[in-house]
Structure 1
Amino acid sequence: MTGAQARPARREWSGEIGGRRRPLAESRGRQYALSARQGGEYAPLLRSGEGPARKEAIVIPAHKYTVIPRIPDRLKELLRIGMNLWWTWDPEAIDLFRRLDPKRLLWERCYANPIRMLGLVSQERLVELTTDEGFLAHLERVGAKLSSYMERPAWFAQAHAGSGLRVAYFCAEFGIVEGLRLYSGGLGILAGDHLKSASDLGIPMVAVGLLYRRGYFRQYLNADGWQQEQYPEADYYTLPLTLEQRPDGSPMAVEVEFPGRKVQAQVWRAQVGRVPLYLLDTDIETNRPEDRAITGYLYGGDRDLRVRQEILLGVGGVRALEALGVEPTVCHINEGHPAFLCLERIRRVMVQHGVSVAAAREMVAASNIFTTHTSVAAGIDVFAPELMERYFAPYYAQLGLSREAFLGLGRQNPADPNEPFSMAVLAIRLSGATNGVSALHGRVARRMWSGLWPGVPVEDLPITSITNGVHVRGWLSHDMAGLFDAYLGPRWISHPADQSVWERVEQIPEAELWRTHERRRERLVAFARRRLRVQLEQRGAPPAEQELAEEVLDPKALTIGFARRFATYKRATLLFRDPERLARILGDPQRPVQIIYAGKAHPADQEGKDFIRQVVHFARRPEFRQRIVFLEDYDIKVGRYLYQGVDVWLNTPRRPLEASGTSGMKATANGAINMSVLDGWWDEAYDGTNGWVIGRGEEYEDAGYHDQVESQAIYQMLEGEVVPMFYTRGRDGLPREWIRRMKSAMRSLSPVFSAYRMVKEYTERLYVPAGQRWHSLGANGLERARALATWKERVRTHWRAAAVRSVEADMVAPLEVGTTRPVRAEVGLGSLSPEDVTVALYAGPLTAEGEIISATVSEMKVEGSPRAGAYLYAGTVQGQTTGLHGFRVRILPAHEDLGNPLAMNCITWG
């Protein structure tokens, strides 16, 4: 018999769904969830109950073969369209696949997976469609549209022709469509939108991730409202995935070295418009069971499994691109998870070009971009030195580094032997550019990582920001898209970041906009009722209680949406600080208000799970039963219904812990109005007319007091402004003031907080410059990279001699605005020369503590010849604003190939 050897699996019972116990498997001393329908062995279970004695089960090996749909020739185009995820943001393509099922039910049951759907549609139906001229015309139209999309020149080809840019976008998760469960939340959804917009813009990009057999969990709640997790197994052969092959037709595989063994990973491709997404998969028979589990779960397992996942993503990802013949000029590292790619890129450059680790580091770091997506230290992966030693000891010699020098790459203080290895620190140290994902997050990130640049003012740290955006077309309802087509014209699709296009929102008749929005709210309520009934059925609720699901929510009532990851800092229970007051607001018979909640807590986050339980228990109270609903298993599908149907999008993070947030952006494009704390993107988005703000951007040390203040602010805003505005109607039944605010939000926010703008900004500010530096430093056998590395070593060796010996400036008399005053400084450089440094005046307003803020920097020039080993530098201080000001003289390294001089950690003040 061929195939895997028979392997015994123990089975136990735990977790209730619909009143039935579900089987679980336990293997190798760990617990694994096993669906009664599917089986499996790789789902770590975090909660188990008592049940019957274990029963033995035998896994019988099988001969493998693949079954594919038998598609008539006239319908073959369906496969081409279905295998390119471009269809996920083309409404006409989605409608095409919906038409395969006359009852229009199969599409949602397949989780919007056209490949799976083609396998489930009966052969008789497929044959019937070959004679349906309307369907065939629809198919031809969509196929032609896809071909045109793939072939026509896009923005990048016109703006940066001949740049030689090739970006590799690395991320641990990707959220593109609900049927491809490779995401857990905002990071993955953002990555999906990034790829879609990169495709629209024609950015030469590939993406790299992991293909998780069980992905992130499916959520259900037990009778007491506690979150439970399921991990259904994905069938890759019924997904829009292609297994990459060698020229001989065998599956392509890459190897990654682990202690005492080599782990193989095959490579799958998901085509996202013009962008190929390559996904590594270790669940193959040549690997040990513990290594097959590397790509079992997103964010599952212990630290050992996590480090193996990140080695596979970073090191294996670079090797996969090499095997595919893809040579990126820029690597975009999203969060710290893929940061090991920096080490592998350095090793490869050393081997290919025979250069030192220093020269290779210059070339690689110049072409790496690191985006941090979190404001919470707990969101950063760190590994114990012993764990790093286990997996990376061979790398020390390959890179020519000592153990401490290697581990120092991931430490804020390289001299501290006890400090763990931080993936974010590694990424920052080995990247030429680092950015946060909103203006506020950029400031927070500079504070978080200030220890990496001692002596540098926090506001000057080399961490910038590019605010997130969303792929508007992919989240917009068909109804709203139809309005935009009619009144905004086609440029809202081709140029979604063009402000002039969105000014035309004012041309949409108020009645049409409001009726469109009301239809979406009605659909949301209908969806919520169906979903709630299924939840009750699965929980085994009595029939009478199930029937009550048809009575919850009111399709005409003011509807608030709150859906996100249930991390405690997002404060999902903030509205329940005063239940009686909330009940009065929601229960007003003349002006009813309702709230729809959805979201998942991380399986290990017990506090987050308790927040869900609290929400569920409040929703069951008689005064809230018809006004508050919690929808289980929050995913792209649930999110889309909410964004498209709510009136108000509520966001209550504890400032400044929200890095950006994008759900409110999606809701805005669909006509919802944001009510949010001034955190993340909303801190720069709110203008006084396009939504509501909770508080004024305060930050509190007392969390309880903070919650009390802001919960009261929400109640007051609902009672005094939001609810009255919604229910104040004209004779035609239209809430005109509300509609004006809707339009203001859509007009001012949609073009700015667009992924089209975001990716364009990454390209102009980071990708293209990084690609140019890759080519420049790598030319002529890395001639300039070698020279830069040598220069840096010399400057660091002699930097201690750089000093400001004296400063001359007459600042006794006040300086008038608009005038200048000369400053001279005597600067000692030792064996360095003026060509090695920049000497500048650093001037600005002074705080009460004597700190210079909002500084302006003006370069000083050398005057005359050196005297007594020192140079005389001259410059001027300019009076720009009134008040108490100060200046200092700053010395930094200078070189034509140096990226950010602050990154060298050589800075002298005087």
Structure 2
Amino acid sequence: MSQTELPPTESVSPRPPAGPSDFFSELSHADDLYGKLWTLANNLWWSWHPECDAIFRDVDPIRWRQLGHNPVALLREMTPERLADRAGELVLHSRINYAYRRLQEYLTSSQTWASTNAGVLGAKPVAYFSAEFGIHESIPIYSGGLGVLAGDHIKSASGLGVPLVGIGLYYSQGYFRQYLDEDGFQGEDYLETKIENLPIQAALDSDGQPLTVAIDTRDGQLFAKVWLMHVGRVRLYLLDCNVDGNKPEDRELTSRLYGGDERTRIRQELVLGVGGVKALAALGIDPGVYHLNEGHSAFGALQVVRQLMDNDGMTFEDAVQLSARATCFTTHTPVPAGHDRFPPALVEEHLGPLRDALGISQKELLALGRVDPDNDNESFCMTVIGFKMSRCANAVSSLHGVVSRRMWQSMWPDRAENEVPIGHITNGVHVASWLAVQMQTLYDKHFHTDWKHRLQEPDAWQAIHDVDPGELWETHNSLKHNLISFVRRRFSRQCRRRGESDNVVEAARHILDPRVLTIGFGRRFATYKRANLLFSDMDRIAELLGNSDRPVQLIYAGKAHPKDEPGKKFIQEIANLRHDPRFAGRVAFVEDYDINVCRHLIQGVDVWLNNPRRPLEASGTSGQKVVLNGGLNCSILDGWWGEAFNGGNGFAIGNGRSHVSDEITDRRDAESLYQTLEEQVIPCFYTRDSDGLPKFWIKRMMNSISTLAWRFSSHRMVADYTAKSYVWAAGGVTCEMRYR
């Protein structure tokens, strides 16, 4: 069955159910308003439409914030009568009806970008595999950049009408909740998510029964229940191992994201890849394209081969050729430690039954995951099998493509480095998810009426140059005030939780100054990202921050992996600067970085700081989100910024070169960072005209938006994947890409 033949998305959802499987039961006419809100809550389309977000917030602003902006949890606390009362008080009826109609029109429209540009996919949908999906803060099945990128990818696939289904894992405890103790050291809490508070339902098999798949291993079967979540037009299927039939330890397999030892990891990846492909078959979905987002799901390619052998009587070699043609593989990391590797015994334990079915030897199986097939000492690498089991592979920025071709050249020893078949499609971000309401209002006022339907087109953004500079600056300052208010709330709450004095809590409510140049830094605290680079010279940065005429303030956020002690040390160093009189009130570390914290930061900062050790940042997308909201990037020329910076749309750190010595590179980059701040960023921000406007700064804001917003949108990214990869993999004609 093709994607277009799947049953239509349900249009009405019920009153609060007893469990997720009851979400789509019959609704009485008396509950019409209530049901329409449930319909909106049960499709994550609402999360990138601010008018829907505003409806849920207005119903009960306090509980909305306390419940983490979760509409399902909010509605479960309300009766139809109470909602009717609130709707009457706030005159919500027309707003709810309008939002409901818009959702129905969106779901049923056949006039999409893909219907014109990717017709072949209508009968051959894309199956998009990812270990995590960051869609909204209320759905905690993501850890960071990879997941948020995957979430943005499927949102844009929905917006463009690309026939696509997502495959992932349901993590009942998600990633950890971060807190800092009294010494500023990171601690981790794992909280169980109440599945009844999620917009999720059991996926049903052809007999209308909840679907569970079984995966064979040498030590018994693994079972996974399949859940379904609606993300606009896209269906996202999530596999959950907490089911009867599994051993107690296996029921915990999908409880935490990126937790446990390598045995846990390989079993998670077996469930994602093999279990995901089996789930699609059981659902009657026959993809024309398999997109493996990073190596975590690469085992799935072997299951596709098995199905071709079983269903069509193919030999192993012929099935590999056919499945590889339909498989696209995206690699995301130039850091060697970021590629999962497993010892042969662990691979045989988990892939042995599948290997038997494929009719290949253990050596032949292991060769698929080895750069050198004859090296018995080489471990099995998920990235290597991803490359070998696909015919279309890409990195996620131009520079990352160069690095990846160099990194993996030994897999193609007969080819020159520039002929290694790894192309690139630069990452982008979902505009509607990250654009502040105030900026959207500004764009609606000045841009062409159809700009939201042409996000990936340069012309759609050029009207920013016609906006009055004062209006743009006023809008930005409004967002900056919102950010500082948010940080003050969070910072004071952190102090109160640690039991600090009333004076300290009160001081936390007044940190930062909306008039001061505000620099933000938010990302994973891996050491190569060098979160502490700005503090290489403490006296120099203290002088910058404390300057009486042109002061600077810093907001940091981010998590270190629970096992990354150096990363945790970086967090501690920065968080404890609040105790240093030179930095008190000028440096704030916001705990528990997530989509919500990120949204506030990228919408309100003046400058977004990114200073990884080049070329270890594959792409990066946080700075792309800043662009949409008028902030400026100050970054190493790495990842996306290496192809984005044009001299007048932000600021560059360094000259794009690195020394063979990391110590010398760090010293050079720190000096360049200080000079860039002292000689470019700070003077540009504080130089004002007769109206009090930083006209040169505002010009850079406009240049940033006009040159970058379209280019680094996920609509452009998904359009590129469709034109350069998906259509070709599904048997159509495509643009140039690197194929094998």
TM-score between the two structures when normalised by the length of structure 1: 0.77
Number of the residue aligned with 1:57: none
Number of the residue aligned with 1:530: 489
Number of the residue aligned with 2:691: 732
Instruction: Report the AA paired with residue 724 of structure 1.
Output: P
Instruction: Report the AA paired with residue 436 of structure 1.
Output: A
Number of the residue aligned with 1:159: 117
Number of the residue aligned with 2:397: 438
Q: Matched residue of 2:456: which SS? A: coil
Aligned counterpart for 2:510 among listed residues 551, 560, 564: 551
Matches of 1:555 and 1:327 in 2, distance apart? 54
Aligned counterpart for 2:104 among listed residues 129, 147, 167: 147
Aligned counterpart for 1:260 among listed residues 194, 216, 219: 219
Residues 130, 637 of structure 1: CA spacing in aligned structure 2 closer, same or farther, 3 A cutoff? Answer: closer
The answer as to whether partners of 1:385 and 1:418 remain within 8 angstroms in 2 is no
Q: CA deviation at 1:130?
A: 5.5
Number of the residue aligned with 1:570: 529
Matches of 2:453 and 2:371 in 1, distance apart? 44
Residues 124, 543 of structure 1: CA spacing in aligned structure 2 closer, same or farther, 3 A cutoff? Answer: farther
Does 2:195 correspond to 1:224?
no
Does 2:569 correspond to 1:607?
no
Number of the residue aligned with 1:350: 309
Number of the residue aligned with 2:450: 491
Matches of 1:659 and 1:531 in 2, distance apart? 31
Number of the residue aligned with 2:654: 695
Q: Matched residue of 1:251: which SS? A: coil
Alignment of 1:177-256 (within 5 A): 177-246=136-205, 250-256=209-215
Q: CA deviation at 1:122?
A: 5.7
Instruction: Report the AA paired with residue 480 of structure 1.
Output: M
Number of the residue aligned with 1:361: 320
Alignment of 1:646-661 (within 5 A): 646-661=605-620
The answer as to whether partners of 2:652 and 2:676 remain within 8 angstroms in 1 is no
The answer as to whether partners of 1:661 and 1:680 remain within 8 angstroms in 2 is yes
Q: CA RMSD in A?
A: 1.8
Q: CA deviation at 1:227?
A: 0.6
Number of the residue aligned with 1:298: 257
Number of the residue aligned with 1:134: 91
Alignment of 1:437-476 (within 5 A): 437-476=396-435
Residues 608, 308 of structure 1: CA spacing in aligned structure 2 closer, same or farther, 3 A cutoff? Answer: same
Aligned counterpart for 2:276 among listed residues 302, 317, 320: 317
Number of the residue aligned with 1:757: 716
The answer as to whether partners of 2:217 and 2:353 remain within 8 angstroms in 1 is no
Matches of 2:261 and 2:285 in 1, distance apart? 33
Aligned counterpart for 1:105 among listed residues 62, 69, 84: 62
Matches of 1:81 and 1:588 in 2, distance apart? 50
Q: CA deviation at 1:542?
A: 1.4
Partner deviation per Cα, 1:136-164 (whole Å, 9 max, x = no partner)? 10001101111111122211112233553
Matches of 2:554 and 2:211 in 1, distance apart? 49
Q: CA deviation at 1:133?
A: 7.8
Does 2:237 correspond to 1:270?
no
Number of the residue aligned with 1:385: 344
The answer as to whether partners of 2:519 and 2:606 remain within 8 angstroms in 1 is yes
Q: CA deviation at 1:578?
A: 0.8
Instruction: Report the AA paired with residue 753 of structure 1.
Output: F
Q: CA deviation at 1:247?
A: 5.8
The answer as to whether partners of 1:436 and 1:445 remain within 8 angstroms in 2 is yes
The answer as to whether partners of 2:491 and 2:508 remain within 8 angstroms in 1 is yes
Instruction: Report the AA paired with residue 425 of structure 2.
Output: I
Partner deviation per Cα, 1:183-235 (whole Å, 9 max, x = no partner)? 11110000000001000100000000000010100000111111100010011
Matches of 2:185 and 2:197 in 1, distance apart? 32
Aligned counterpart for 2:622 among listed residues 659, 663, 667: 663
Q: CA deviation at 1:551?
A: 2.0
Instruction: Report the AA paired with residue 183 of structure 1.
Output: Y
Give aligned-pair identity as a percent.
Answer: 45
Residues 591, 121 of structure 1: CA spacing in aligned structure 2 closer, same or farther, 3 A cutoff? Answer: farther
The answer as to whether partners of 1:113 and 1:240 remain within 8 angstroms in 2 is no
Partner deviation per Cα, 1:411-462 (whole Å, 9 max, x = no partner)? 0000011110000000100101110000000000001111100121101100
The answer as to whether partners of 1:155 and 1:202 remain within 8 angstroms in 2 is yes
Alignment of 1:689-838 (within 5 A): 689-772=648-731
Larger radius of gyration: 1
TM-score between the two structures when normalised by the length of structure 2: 0.94
My pick for the range that moved more, 118-127 or 317-326, is 118-127
Matches of 1:416 and 1:268 in 2, distance apart? 41
Instruction: Report the AA paired with residue 160 of structure 1.
Output: A
Q: CA deviation at 1:508?
A: 1.0
The answer as to whether partners of 2:519 and 2:608 remain within 8 angstroms in 1 is yes
The answer as to whether partners of 2:218 and 2:352 remain within 8 angstroms in 1 is no
Partner deviation per Cα, 1:693-722 (whole Å, 9 max, x = no partner)? 001111112222222211111111211221
Q: Matched residue of 2:724: which SS? A: helix
Instruction: Report the AA paired with residue 77 of structure 2.
Output: L
The answer as to whether partners of 2:434 and 2:599 remain within 8 angstroms in 1 is yes
Q: CA deviation at 1:107?
A: 1.7
Residues 286, 403 of structure 1: CA spacing in aligned structure 2 closer, same or farther, 3 A cutoff? Answer: closer
The answer as to whether partners of 1:75 and 1:130 remain within 8 angstroms in 2 is no
The answer as to whether partners of 2:72 and 2:198 remain within 8 angstroms in 1 is yes
My pick for the range that moved more, 253-262 or 463-472, is 253-262
Q: CA deviation at 1:167?
A: 0.2
The answer as to whether partners of 2:42 and 2:72 remain within 8 angstroms in 1 is yes
Matches of 1:766 and 1:444 in 2, distance apart? 21
Matches of 1:748 and 1:230 in 2, distance apart? 41
The answer as to whether partners of 2:206 and 2:282 remain within 8 angstroms in 1 is no
Aligned counterpart for 1:624 among listed residues 573, 583, 605: 583
Matches of 1:419 and 1:327 in 2, distance apart? 35
The answer as to whether partners of 1:256 and 1:315 remain within 8 angstroms in 2 is yes
The answer as to whether partners of 1:525 and 1:555 remain within 8 angstroms in 2 is yes
The answer as to whether partners of 2:528 and 2:613 remain within 8 angstroms in 1 is yes
The answer as to whether partners of 1:165 and 1:768 remain within 8 angstroms in 2 is no
Matches of 1:160 and 1:625 in 2, distance apart? 55
Q: CA deviation at 1:646?
A: 0.1
Aligned counterpart for 1:594 among listed residues 537, 553, 566: 553
Number of the residue aligned with 2:9: none
Partner deviation per Cα, 1:508-562 (whole Å, 9 max, x = no partner)? 1111100000010011001000000111111111111111102210011100000
Matches of 2:606 and 2:18 in 1, distance apart? 50
Number of the residue aligned with 2:5: none
Number of the residue aligned with 2:384: 425
Matches of 1:161 and 1:455 in 2, distance apart? 37
Matches of 2:223 and 2:68 in 1, distance apart? 30
Query: Any stretches of 5+ residues in structure 2 without a counterpart?
Result: 1-16
Matches of 1:246 and 1:324 in 2, distance apart? 6
Q: CA deviation at 1:390?
A: 1.3
Higher strand share goes to which structure?
Answer: 1
The answer as to whether partners of 2:31 and 2:80 remain within 8 angstroms in 1 is no
Residues 461, 234 of structure 1: CA spacing in aligned structure 2 closer, same or farther, 3 A cutoff? Answer: same
Q: Matched residue of 2:609: which SS? A: strand
